A and B are shown apart, each in its own frame.
Chain A
Amino acid sequence: DQQVKQNSPSLSVQEGRISILNCDYTNSMFDYFLWYKKYPAEGPTFLISISSIKDKNEDGRFTVFLNKSAKHLSLHIVPSQPGDSAVYFCAASGWETSGSRLTFGEGTQLTVNP
């Protein structure tokens, strides 16, 4: 039972263009969503988060959008840079659990070409 799903295993974009990574969830109890990125041989690094009471959160080049009715969130990276090439994980936490109990998607490998 995959409660958080990232349907695109990989995404390739040109430097300077927009990268859009998508994530769907099925559990209505999720109230907090995060994006992590992971480079090889490193642990996941926190990127940006959003509470279910919001529909958008922005931090520099990164923006996360949440559509609760569709149970869908997306991460926009503008402009994309070669250093953004990494695996991106979407994660969610339920209102009844602590912030340490995250449910992760399978990840999307982003490649930004110079």
Chain B
Amino acid sequence: DAGVTQSPTHLIKTRGQQVTLRCSPISGHKSVSWYQQVLGQGPQFIFQYYEKEERGRGNFPDRFSARQFPNYSSELNVNALLLGDSALYLCASSVGRGKGGANVLTFGAGSRLTVL
């Protein structure tokens, strides 16, 4: 079974540019969440989408946006990139929104974004 897949794995952008990161959840998983992990810190929640609707948003500026498609895949967009946006962006999927059991998050390997 394919796990959570993310693309691209690595990318380099310059300040002010825009970036789109993609995520394909595990088959049958309807919830996708995005996290940002800055070097030396734990992952920080950005968004959750469930059944194609935004169900939660972390403390990130409006430059960050996301969407979920009918096939439950998702995109994370970041506009007007800043140096501080350099991080590992993790996507996670789960069957539903609850806690425990099948709803434990399964993470992808991440997209490493470097902003110069």
- Seen from chain A, the residues whose Cβ lies within 8 Å of a Cβ on chain B are 4, 6, 31-32, 34, 36, 41-46, 49, 51, 89, 91, 93, 97-107
A13 to B16, CA, bound (A): 45
Specify which chain A residues have a CB less than 8 angstroms from the CB of B58 in the assembled complex: 101
Specify which chain A residues have a CB less than 8 angstroms from the CB of B103 in the assembled complex: 99-100
A56 to B47, CA, bound (A): 31
Specify which chain A residues have a CB less than 8 angstroms from the CB of B15 in the assembled complex: none
Contact check: which of B42, B44, B96, B104 meets A107 at CB < 8 Å?
B42
B interface residue count range (under 10 / 10 to 19 / 20 to 34 / 35 or more):
20 to 34
Specify which chain A residues have a CB less than 8 angstroms from the CB of B43 in the assembled complex: 44, 89, 102, 104
A93 to B105, CA, bound (A): 12
Contact A99 B99, beta carbon cutoff 8 Å: yes
Contact B104 A99, beta carbon cutoff 8 Å: yes
Contact B48 A100, beta carbon cutoff 8 Å: yes
Contact check: which of A31, A34, A102 meets B45 at CB < 8 Å?
A102
Specify which chain A residues have a CB less than 8 angstroms from the CB of B90 in the assembled complex: 43-44
Contact A98 B42, beta carbon cutoff 8 Å: no
Q: Which 4 A-B pairs have the closest CB atoms?
A: A104-B42, A43-B107, A99-B99, A98-B97
Specify which chain A residues have a CB less than 8 angstroms from the CB of B109 in the assembled complex: 41-43
In the complex, 21 of the A-B residue pairs with CB atoms within 8 angstroms, ordered by the A residue number, are A4-B42, A32-B99, A32-B100, A34-B104, A41-B109, A43-B4, A43-B107, A43-B109, A43-B110, A44-B107, A45-B107, A51-B99, A98-B31, A98-B50, A99-B98, A99-B99, A100-B33, A100-B55, A102-B105, A104-B43, A107-B42
Most B CB within 10 A of own CB, among A34, A97, A101, A105: A101
A4 to B43, CA, bound (A): 12
Specify which chain B residues have a CB less than 8 angstroms from the CB of A46 in the assembled complex: 104-106
A98 to B31, CA, bound (A): 10
Q: Give the shortest distance, in Å, between A64 (CB) and chain B (any CB).
A: 13
Residue of A nearest to B103 (CB): A99
Residue of B nearest to A107 (CB): B42
Specify which chain A residues have a CB less than 8 angstroms from the CB of B45 in the assembled complex: 100-103
Specify which chain B residues have a CB less than 8 angstroms from the CB of A105 in the assembled complex: 42
